[in-house]
Chains A and B, each alone.
Chain A
Amino acid sequence: MRRIAVVALAAVLASGACSTPGASGEVRVLVAGDPEELAAFRAIVDAYRAAGGGPVRLEEVAERDDLVARLSTSIAAGDPPDAFLLNYRYYGQFEAAGALQPLQSMLDTSDVLDAGSFVPAAMNAFRDDGVQTCIPLNASSLVLYYNADLFAAAGLAPPRDDWTWDEMVAAARALTRDVDGDETVDVWGLGVEPQIIRLAPFVWSSGGSIMDEGAPSRIDLGSVRAALATQAFLDLRGLHEVVPTEEDAESIDLETRFLGGGLAMLMESRKVVPTFRTIEDFGWDVAALPRFGRRPVSILHSDAFCMTARAAEPDAAWTFLEFALGPEGQAIAAQAGRTVPSLRSVAASQDFLTPGGSPSNSRVFLAQLDGVRSVPNVASWPQIEDAVNALLEEAFYDPSAGPEAPELIAAIQRATAPLFAQEEA
């Protein structure tokens, strides 16, 4: 699927301009998500129509890769949707291709939306040279989910807001257990995927950086602080053995393992909350990420509505986006439980915090947004992320054959250099 997207995106770049299909008055909006997310989008459209809005046709796909492939193809073929919803790590490629209509001027004159009402970090992630390209619908971050019953059974206090990395590792070691004595681990202390977006918060917390400042031109994990954080991340599997082995992670994914009580802590974004709300066998909650350095830092997870440059119905599309991104639309999305609203007023409302519901510490998602950081807006970021993740995974799961942090970082820099060169070209 990614190959189709690449070919189609190349066609977007090659074609330069695409013809605009005839206007029909119907707004086409491309979205991706699981069945519950898609249901929430349909509910937003229904509410919009009930409020007197015009016709909106949702184009639904299941996965982000499917969305990117469909979007690339439709743009290249001159038949793009008017608007689409995409994560900030993936929208840069469309911006670089000139396929997006910046929303800054519409936002400036809007009577419905006020830029100051949104989470600043999320707005910044979709801003280029001071111009707001897309507007975020949600603003989640990486947090720590924990099984409260396992903590209590081990005599451990729940994670505090000012937890340190070392305290987390110590807890994970205490919680990793062979329950039935068959010499295989039944409960793992921690679940974290070996990905750059999982490692980055701890590099930032250490005072290091993942890319050079300004216009990013290379992966910059080379500082001592970044190398220490990277080595500590690798040690979770190689030295401490508190995260599932590769075989265990492949046989049961981390989310499912947590659901079954086989994982004490899990680093994830807000997206798992609807699934975790089905848990009946044990108590669970969320905590802030531990700090590796002096202060905790998390990483932004945010999707935004963007408008295509060749939208057939830009005015009608903007009217719909005002509704979807406004208090009513965001409240509907928040009720699905999977996202953190990007409008601060909705994020502080009961629609999101759900008093009495799980997780009881939902405010941690809001508290973390103050220090949240994001990966840079680089058009080739998806390819960079793939290249880094492949090397990181190898080093994480195979410590005997995989490199230590300095060698890993050098390998990452070599593997990503051509992608940055391509970016500059």
Chain B
Amino acid sequence: MRGGGISSALGRIAMAMLFAAPLVLVAAGAFQPVGQPPPTGFEALSPPWSLEAFARVRDLIPLGRMTANSTLVAAVSVPVGVLVAAWTGFAIARLPARAGAFLAVIVLVTALIPVTALVVGRVTIFRLLGVTASPLPLMASALLGVSPLFVLVFAWSYKRLPATLFDLAAEVGLTPLAAWWRIAVPLTRGTTVAVGMLALIVVWGDFIGPLLMVSDSAWYTLPAGLGVLSGLDGPRQPIMLAAALLAMIPVGIALLVLARRPRGHA
């Protein structure tokens, strides 16, 4: 291996270790015995190990129900959100330049609005719809593409495709929807996968939703459960870390599966 290759590999390993370090600490903490003063140094990475924290998570929060709720919300929100973001982005990309730019600016402005300014309005809408005691408020952001940024990502991605492709598609009688499905989607598969992964991370980690928009604790998702466990005293922090580790497993598997999908051009 050449010098450049070695340094590149070392750089990648260093970068991976940088991002993996918090995960290693969470895992090491989760396997610490419950009831001991929390470690202050590298003793967190050494035995004795214990599975007690994992066993005690379910004594404190309904982990199974919360995992099921999170899975349900993600299973609905991610595909619907990606679809909405992709369609909206495609529409922006296919509009005349000035109109598309205008809409892109509108989307960008909405992305800049702090979530704090929207919470009351959203809860009011959910109350008027009578859905605050259901998981629907947690899924509602999917109807807006989960995040305005995802709409922009799709718009920029579709904009890079040659316009002649879609002009030809129109000439042979393809509808805009058919052109999107047959031309844009195959050529931007990488973008779709990336947005899907990001959407999953956003939806899975949503703490504000269950805290402020759902009135029935039975629909709480995993972040709400982790919030409850975060109030545990120091000697019981392994329980919180164990729950955090368990909460990462489903989304970790999903991200690994998504990451192995074939990539498109964009």
Residues of A within 8 A of B (CB): 3-4, 7-8, 11, 21, 28, 33-35, 38, 57-63, 66, 69-70, 73-74, 76-79, 81, 251-253, 255-257, 259-260, 262, 275, 278
Contact with B234, one of A33, A62, A255 (Cβ below 8 angstroms): A255
Contact A59 B215 (CB under 8 A): yes
Question: Using an 8 Å CB-CB cutoff, how does the interface string of B214-253 with A read, 1 for contact, 0 for none?
Answer: 0111000000100111111111000000000000000000
Minimum Cβ distance to chain B for residue A241 (Å) = 20
Question: Which single residue of chain A is at the shortest CB-CB distance from B229?
Answer: A35
Q: Is B61 an interface residue (CB 8 A)?
A: yes
Find chain B residues with CB under 8 A from A69 CB: 211-212
Minimum Cβ distance to chain B for residue A184 (Å) = 12
Minimum Cβ distance to chain B for residue A293 (Å) = 34
Contact A35 B60 (CB under 8 A): yes
Find chain A residues with CB under 8 A from B217 CB: 57-60
Contact with A61, one of B116, B132, B227 (Cβ below 8 angstroms): B227
| A257, B60: Cα distance in complex, Å | 24
Find chain A residues with CB under 8 A from B179 CB: none
Contact B212 A278 (CB under 8 A): no
Q: Is B40 an interface residue (CB 8 A)?
A: yes
Q: Which 4 A-B pairs have the closest CB atoms?
A: A256-B234, A260-B37, A77-B123, A35-B60
| A7, B119: Cα distance in complex, Å | 9
Contact A73 B37 (CB under 8 A): no
Contact A259 B234 (CB under 8 A): yes
| A57, B216: Cα distance in complex, Å | 7
Find chain B residues with CB under 8 A from A76 CB: 120, 123-124
Question: Which single residue of chain B is at the shortest CB-CB distance from A1?
Answer: B211
Q: Is B94 an interface residue (CB 8 A)?
A: no
Contact B227 A252 (CB under 8 A): no
Size of the B side of the interface (Cβ < 8 Å), in residues, is 34
Minimum Cβ distance to chain A for residue B41 (Å) = 9
Question: Which single residue of chain A is at the shortest CB-CB distance from B213?
Answer: A73
Contact B120 A7 (CB under 8 A): yes
Most buried by A among B38, B120, B215, B228: B120
Q: Please name 11 further chain A to chain B contacts, defined as beta carbons within 8 Å, in addition to the given A57-B216, A62-B228, A77-B123, sorted by A numbering.
A: A4-B115, A35-B61, A35-B229, A57-B217, A61-B228, A66-B227, A73-B212, A79-B215, A81-B215, A257-B37, A278-B35
Find chain B residues with CB under 8 A from A28 CB: 215
Find chain A residues with CB under 8 A from B211 CB: 61, 66, 69-70
| A255, B236: Cα distance in complex, Å | 12
Q: Is B127 an interface residue (CB 8 A)?
A: yes
| A259, B38: Cα distance in complex, Å | 10
Contact A4 B35 (CB under 8 A): no
Minimum Cβ distance to chain A for residue B109 (Å) = 19
Find chain B residues with CB under 8 A from A275 CB: 233, 235
Given A35-B229, A256-B235, do A3 and B116 touch, yes or no (CB 8 Å)? Answer: yes
- 9 pairs of residues in contact across A and B, judged by CB atoms under 8 Å: A4-B208, A28-B215, A58-B217, A63-B231, A66-B227, A70-B211, A74-B212, A251-B40, A252-B37
Q: Is B6 an interface residue (CB 8 A)?
A: no
Question: Which single residue of chain B is at the shortest CB-CB distance from A60?
Answer: B217
Contact A253 B228 (CB under 8 A): no
| A34, B229: Cα distance in complex, Å | 7
Question: Which single residue of chain A is at the shortest CB-CB distance from B36?
Answer: A260
Given A60-B217, A63-B227, do A256 and B119 touch, yes or no (CB 8 Å)? Answer: no
Q: Is B117 an interface residue (CB 8 A)?
A: yes
Question: Which single residue of chain A is at the shortest CB-CB distance from B59?
Answer: A35
Question: Using an 8 Å CB-CB cutoff, how does the interface string of B39-72 with A read, 1 for contact, 0 for none?
Answer: 0100000000000000000001100000000000
| A35, B124: Cα distance in complex, Å | 30
Most buried by B among A35, A57, A76: A35
Contact with B230, one of A7, A33, A62 (Cβ below 8 angstroms): A62
| A69, B35: Cα distance in complex, Å | 32
| A127, B224: Cα distance in complex, Å | 33
| A66, B228: Cα distance in complex, Å | 10
Contact A74 B123 (CB under 8 A): yes
Find chain A residues with CB under 8 A from B115 CB: 4
Contact with B37, one of A58, A60, A256 (Cβ below 8 angstroms): A256
| A73, B213: Cα distance in complex, Å | 9
| A405, B234: Cα distance in complex, Å | 33
Minimum Cβ distance to chain B for residue A41 (Å) = 11
| A4, B207: Cα distance in complex, Å | 13
| A425, B157: Cα distance in complex, Å | 52
Question: Which single residue of chain A is at the shortest CB-CB distance from B115?
Answer: A4
Contact A4 B212 (CB under 8 A): yes
Find chain A residues with CB under 8 A from B228 CB: 34-35, 38, 60-62
Find chain A residues with CB under 8 A from B234 CB: 252-253, 255-256, 259
Contact B233 A70 (CB under 8 A): no
Find chain B residues with CB under 8 A from A11 CB: 120
Contact A8 B40 (CB under 8 A): no
Contact B231 A62 (CB under 8 A): yes
| A420, B119: Cα distance in complex, Å | 28
Minimum Cβ distance to chain A for residue B53 (Å) = 14
| A81, B230: Cα distance in complex, Å | 24
Minimum Cβ distance to chain B for residue A281 (Å) = 10
Minimum Cβ distance to chain A for residue B18 (Å) = 22
Contact B215 A77 (CB under 8 A): no
Contact A278 B123 (CB under 8 A): no
Question: Which single residue of chain B is at the shortest CB-CB distance from A79?
Answer: B127
Minimum Cβ distance to chain B for residue A286 (Å) = 17
Contact with A77, one of B60, B127, B232 (Cβ below 8 angstroms): B127
Q: Which B residues from 197 to 215 make CB contacts under 8 A with A?
A: 208, 211-212, 215
Find chain B residues with CB under 8 A from A74 CB: 123, 212, 215
Contact A62 B123 (CB under 8 A): no
Contact B37 A78 (CB under 8 A): no
Contact B212 A70 (CB under 8 A): yes
| A250, B38: Cα distance in complex, Å | 13
Minimum Cβ distance to chain B for residue A24 (Å) = 9
Find chain A residues with CB under 8 A from B114 CB: 3
Contact A256 B215 (CB under 8 A): no
Minimum Cβ distance to chain B for residue A68 (Å) = 11
Given A35-B61, A62-B228, A255-B233, do A73 and B123 touch, yes or no (CB 8 Å)? Answer: yes
Find chain B residues with CB under 8 A from A35 CB: 60-61, 228-229, 231-232
